[in-house]
Structure 1
Amino acid sequence: MTETIDIKVTRIKESKLPGVDFDNIPFGRIYTDHMFMADYIDGKWQNFEILPYGPLELDPATTTLHYAQSIFEGLKAYKSESGETLVFRPFANFERLNKSAERMCIPEVPKELYEQGMKALLEIDNDWIPEEVGKSLYIRPFVFGTDDFIGIRPSDNYKFMIITCPVGSYYAEPVSVKIETHYTRAAKGGVGYAKTAGNYAASLYPAKLAAQEGYQQLIWTDGQDHKYIEESGTMNIMFRIDDTLITPHTGDSVLPGITRDSVLKLARDWGYKVEERKISVDEVVKAAQEGRIQEAFGTGTAATIAHIKKIGYEGADYELPPIKEREWSNKFLKELDMIKYGQAEDKFGWNYKL
């Protein structure tokens, strides 16, 4: 039996919602009225609270500010045509959160804390969930160490929080990507499979250099030899080559994406040929040169499906087929959107209904 947690609620005096232009909601810039918070003190989770969204007071020696002992997740809530609130695969994110926690020496977040905290927050800020297809409420659970101690060891105390923000499309148009063969995102034995802050900090400089060359994202390669494709900056990556859907297998240097898993389940259910395996840079470049890449796209919570229009490698750019010709990725996007908004059968039981 699931234990019910006692959540203290302090509501905002005046909602910010009337001042929000839902026709102009840049990703990750506008936050809802409230946030959820809990503390890990003396070996247990406590102080469950929903309070007005606002700044935190942190000691300058807070361990996370110095040693990045921090993990997070990203998922979305949608409004169905009948007005139901549907959260897409929240327990897959819960499982991944705790895998990240284990790798980063952070105490496990109990399921009842994660579920009930999220549910209570979404119920209070339910009017913030956009009703228009193509828009949603982004949910960001995160955990970080809070000891006021400058020393390299796991924190004894932690804070678990959930914040939310209404969002539209992450990418307004198909993206150009560059295969990165110098800088490394993650290495074997590292924390690449964990959704931890340091992974993203390490990617910023190479991504900045790529942006100066006109690319929106990088395709990361293995940290040892830079011979094999791993993932992109904000998403996993897939190729349709010769009517086969190919994606790098997950390991300790690749994040196990929830959208990635959803696409693979749909592909297999539809009878598509699917391969999860090592895919070399040479194989991708050769297929691009020969015109055998029918589609290339990223998968992730923020973008769902991000079409890749161009792949750059060693000074050469390889243009890919027009978006309208991409039968598989367009079908994945349409089906996932229909499931998320309650317009199609949820045969895999992915949606969590409030």
Structure 2
Amino acid sequence: MKTSLAIPVTKTQSSRLSQTDFSNLVFGKTISDHMFVADYKNGEWTDLRIEPYAPLDLSPSNATLHYGQSIFEGLKAYRNDAGEILVFRADANWKRMNESAERMCMPSLPEEVFMDGLTQLVELDKDWVPSAKGASLYIRPFMFAMDEYIGVKPSDTYKFIIFTCPVGNYYSKPVSVKVETKFTRANEGGTGAAKTAGNYAASLYPALQAQKAGYDQLLWTDGKSHSKIEESGTMNVMFKINGKIITAPIDGGTILKGITRNSVIQLANDWNEELEERFLTVTELKEALEAGTLEEAFGTGTAATIAHIFKINIDGTDYILPEKSENAFSHRVLAALDGIKYGTEADPHEWIIKI
């Protein structure tokens, strides 16, 4: 990909690459050598640079620490058989980040700042992109307030950073989930559709209780009645009942506009699969489980890609899903997405950016 911005680079003097065990990558624990940084001051993004990954110098009165103006994205880069680096749908992440920024009273990012910063950073740290099957380079762009001011108002200054980390699979096996009908992730009129840090902070306690009870994740329900399935903790969720794929709509403002979700829907349409974007009620889900008509349940997300769900708990009862055939939709769509991401299959929707 051609870039238009000349971004100054300060290279690290002590690379950690040779000390990294790429055969034993714990998701999010190993950070690559460099980061892209830009500062927002006086109404514009300035001082774009790439520098060694290092701790930040923050004031105790930093506005983010007190009032939570923080947004982020997540995407991945892959290495194909020819050794080339492929980034999946970065333009969609840029657009979604600006939607989050608008909701959180933060400045928008020009496309060239986001895309050029990302591509030049990945190019510099390309040796950090794993080559093993299922592994990738996770890319984390994020923005946060920088005002040194104790007062409830939008900040006037911000910092935008991108760093990367080599990762393996987020989930190494099918997951178990519990339908949450007490705690709430998001309500209409809230920030549920924004990828903001506070949404995740609010989810930690109920998710921890579910994990203590033996479940990997929650299935969140709507905040008003707790009768409709919305999404899971780290991913959107889809169900296949009687041959029809059902996934919650994103136009109500309570659900994240998942890029993997959108990609799966596009492939389902390409394959003429029957799909409905509507809320599945907890009652419908329970009835389908008891009747044996729930064929598949799976999460979709950048970290998880496609996470197969094998157990669902509703009101204290565990339901085990049937074994899926090799031709199951979730298997086929995972293989198709991996083929596009690793460059072994055609990319008809031009989702890939080659570094």
Contact 1:294/1:326 (CA < 8 Å) preserved in 2?
no
Unaligned stretches of 5+ in structure 2?
Answer: none
Amino acid paired to 1:87:
V
Amino acid paired to 2:300:
T
* Structure-1 residue corresponding to 2:254: 253
* Structure-2 residue corresponding to 1:265: 266
Contact 1:228/1:281 (CA < 8 Å) preserved in 2?
yes
Contact 2:295/2:324 (CA < 8 Å) preserved in 1?
no
* Structure-2 residue corresponding to 1:40: 40
Instruction: Summarize deviations over 1:148-185 as a string: whole Å, max 9, x none.
Output: 00111000000000010000000111110000000000
* Structure-2 residue corresponding to 1:190: 190
Return the alpha-carbon distance in structure 2 between the equivalents of residues 353 and 172 of structure 1: 27
Return the alpha-carbon distance in structure 2 between the equivalents of residues 293 and 66 of structure 1: 44
* Structure-1 residue corresponding to 2:26: 26
**How far does residue 326 in structure 1 lie from its aligned partner after superposition?**
6.3
* Structure-2 residue corresponding to 1:223: 223
* Structure-1 residue corresponding to 2:329: 328
Contact 2:39/2:48 (CA < 8 Å) preserved in 1?
yes
Return the alpha-carbon distance in structure 2 between the equivalents of residues 234 and 323 of structure 1: 23
* Structure-2 residue corresponding to 1:213: 213
The total of aligned residue pairs comes to 353
Amino acid paired to 2:71:
I
Return the alpha-carbon distance in structure 2 between the equivalents of residues 194 and 285 of structure 1: 30
Return the alpha-carbon distance in structure 2 between the equivalents of residues 323 and 163 of structure 1: 37
Contact 2:235/2:258 (CA < 8 Å) preserved in 1?
yes
Partner secondary structure for residue 8 of structure 1: coil
Matches within 5 A, 1:1-354: 4-250=4-250, 251-324=252-325, 327-354=328-355
Partner secondary structure for residue 177 of structure 1: strand
Return the alpha-carbon distance in structure 2 between the equivalents of residues 25 and 166 of structure 1: 7
Contact 1:128/1:166 (CA < 8 Å) preserved in 2?
yes
Partner secondary structure for residue 330 of structure 2: helix
Return the alpha-carbon distance in structure 2 between the equivalents of residues 143 and 152 of structure 1: 18
Partner secondary structure for residue 46 of structure 1: strand
Instruction: Summarize deviations over 1:180-208 as a string: whole Å, max 9, x none.
Output: 00000000010000000000000000001
Partner secondary structure for residue 162 of structure 2: strand
Amino acid paired to 1:289:
E
Instruction: Summarize deviations over 1:333-353 as a string: whole Å, max 9, x none.
Output: 111001000000000110011
Return the alpha-carbon distance in structure 1 between the equivalents of residues 269 and 3 of structure 2: 37
Amino acid paired to 1:113:
V
Return the alpha-carbon distance in structure 2 between the equivalents of residues 138 and 317 of structure 1: 33
Give the direction of change, closer, same or farther, for the CA distance of 1:326–1:179 in structure 2 (3 Å limit): farther
Instruction: Summarize deviations over 1:64-94 as a string: whole Å, max 9, x none.
Output: 0111100000000001111111100000111
Amino acid paired to 2:293:
R
Contact 1:147/1:155 (CA < 8 Å) preserved in 2?
yes
**How far does residue 131 in structure 1 lie from its aligned partner after superposition?**
1.1
Return the alpha-carbon distance in structure 2 between the equivalents of residues 327 and 6 of structure 1: 47
Range with greater deviation from structure 2 (98-107 or 320-329) = 320-329
Unaligned stretches of 5+ in structure 1?
Answer: none
Amino acid paired to 2:277:
E
Partner secondary structure for residue 151 of structure 1: coil
Instruction: Summarize deviations over 1:80-137 as a string: whole Å, max 9, x none.
Output: 1111111000001110000000000000000000011001101110000011220000
Give % identity: 55
Return the alpha-carbon distance in structure 2 between the equivalents of residues 147 and 7 of structure 1: 25
Give the direction of change, closer, same or farther, for the CA distance of 1:224–1:11 in structure 2 (3 Å limit): same
| Structural RMSD (CA) | 1.1
Contact 2:238/2:297 (CA < 8 Å) preserved in 1?
yes
Contact 1:139/1:165 (CA < 8 Å) preserved in 2?
yes
Partner secondary structure for residue 152 of structure 1: coil
Contact 1:295/1:326 (CA < 8 Å) preserved in 2?
no
Tell me the TM-score normalized by structure 1: 0.98
Return the alpha-carbon distance in structure 2 between the equivalents of residues 307 and 3 of structure 1: 38
**How far does residue 324 in structure 1 lie from its aligned partner after superposition?**
4.7
| Runs of 4+ displaced beyond 6 Å | none
Partner secondary structure for residue 9 of structure 1: coil
**How far does residue 325 in structure 1 lie from its aligned partner after superposition?**
5.3
Return the alpha-carbon distance in structure 1 between the equivalents of residues 248 and 234 of structure 2: 15
**How far does residue 15 in structure 1 lie from its aligned partner after superposition?**
1.2
**How far does residue 212 in structure 1 lie from its aligned partner after superposition?**
1.1
Instruction: Summarize deviations over 1:268-292 as a string: whole Å, max 9, x none.
Output: 1011101101211100111011111
Instruction: Summarize deviations over 1:256-310 as a string: whole Å, max 9, x none.
Output: 1000000010011011101101211100111011111100000000010000010
